[in-house]
Amino acid sequence: MSGMPAFEPGGYGVYVHVPFCAVRCDYCDFATWADRDHLVDDYVDAVVTDLGRQRAAGVPAASTVFLGGGTPSLLDGSQVARILGAIDRSAGAEVTIECNPDAIDATRLAAYRAAGADRLSFGVQSMSAHVLRTLGRTHDPANVARAVALARDAGFTRINLDLITGTPGEHLDDWRHTLDAALALEPEHLSVYALTVEPGTPLGRRVASGRAPDVDEDAQADAYLLADDLLTAAGYEWYEISNWSRPGEECRHNLGYWLGGEWGAAGCAAHGFRSGRRWWNVRTPERYLERIAAGRDPASGDEVLAAGAAAEEAFGLALRTRAGARVDPAAGTVVDELRTGGLLRSSEDRVVLTPRGRLVASDVTARLVLAGGVAPA
């Protein structure tokens, strides 16, 4: 079995949420707004204040930072520099910025690089124009190639492309074309997500009214397996259910989420986790601004998991990764069944999902947990 992904145990991450987009995509139910441009400057000020308070309270230096959204690339270079300047970072920290291929230019990318960003994640979703139209995305495939070229010119050597499978009307040939076109851009990292049709989104309403077909889960499974085959053949290593990278190019920030790291949060709707406590900030930018202006904690809720629940959660997250999870011998019979069924590989006391097992990861996890497979820490 493959070893652990590159990950610095004990590292501390910082997630900053940027809740602004130029246009809302038809499938999106994230905490983001396309009509709040007037708040951007104040929001950046508030995030800088929030991060400054966290720093004064003695949070560790960050070994990873992730600006997600929303569309962080709507922020100009000086805004990103102010946010990154408010975060105490350890030497060699990974700093990722999510970008819309439409919303970047050479000046902005050079400023991001100068501010300390070393990794870009582009929301590509598809390289087929008709699929992008169904998703309500504003870019076209040519923009993606242009964006990647601009990023290379600006000195970025770590690029991720986010792709989505299962868009209504997407055929397996469309998906194969998307994968081939994405691979031709030679990114260091690729993420593949299965589309979920969320009620309340324009796409959800079209599906509910019969104007668009619903997601075909069998077709999504075929698309996933095709992605795994093509990416593996192209030299990418699978390391988490939805993620593949060139060797050593795993996203260290996201590995922290899956492998027991801790992270702080800034911005509305951001989640953090530290010392066993998980918290989530108020959802809207307006409420976040109010909280920060009033000198209050922006968290709107929190929880501390009991030891058993925390161990189960850690087990399920580890099982998502290439390293797999340590399994208690009590689940030996179920492990044998799952292995015989082609869903797991096992070695000594660890189990790792096979490609087909990743398609039903939740079910596999539930069966192992129920069988007493969560090994004591």
Residue 71 or 96 with smaller CB distance to ligand SF4: 71
Structure tokens at 157: 């050597």
Confirm or reject binding of residue 265 to ligand SF4 (CB under 6 A).
no
Measured distance CA(52)–CA(172) in Å, rounded: 48
What phi and psi values does residue 211 have, to the nearest 5 degrees?
-80, -10
Map residue 193 onto helix, strand or coil.
strand
Confirm or reject binding of residue 21 to ligand SF4 (CB under 6 A).
yes
Measured distance CA(197)–CA(19) in Å, rounded: 21
Q: Which of residues 169-198 bind ligand SF4 (CB under 6 A)?
A: none
Query: Which of these segments, 9-17, 63-71, 257-265, 293-301, binds ligand SF4 (CB under 6 A)?
Result: 63-71
How near is the Cβ of 345 to ligand SF4 at its closest, in Å?
Answer: 34
The distance in angstroms from the start CA to the end CA of the chain is 21
Confirm or reject binding of residue 150 to ligand SF4 (CB under 6 A).
no
Q: Which of residues 109-138 bind ligand SF4 (CB under 6 A)?
A: 123
How near is the Cβ of 201 to ligand SF4 at its closest, in Å?
Answer: 9
How near is the Cβ of 122 to ligand SF4 at its closest, in Å?
Answer: 11
Confirm or reject binding of residue 73 to ligand SF4 (CB under 6 A).
no
Site string for ligand SF4, 22-61 (x = CB under 6 A): --xx--x-x-x-----------------------------
Measured distance CA(280)–CA(278) in Å, rounded: 7
**Can you point out the beta strands (E) in the chain?**
12-18, 62-69, 89-99, 119-125, 159-165, 189-194, 237-240, 243-245, 262-266, 271-274, 277-281, 299-304, 325-326, 344-347, 350-353
Confirm or reject binding of residue 69 to ligand SF4 (CB under 6 A).
yes
Structure tokens at 340: 């015989």
Residue 32 or 220 with smaller CB distance to ligand SF4: 32
Residue 123 or 168 with smaller CB distance to ligand SF4: 123
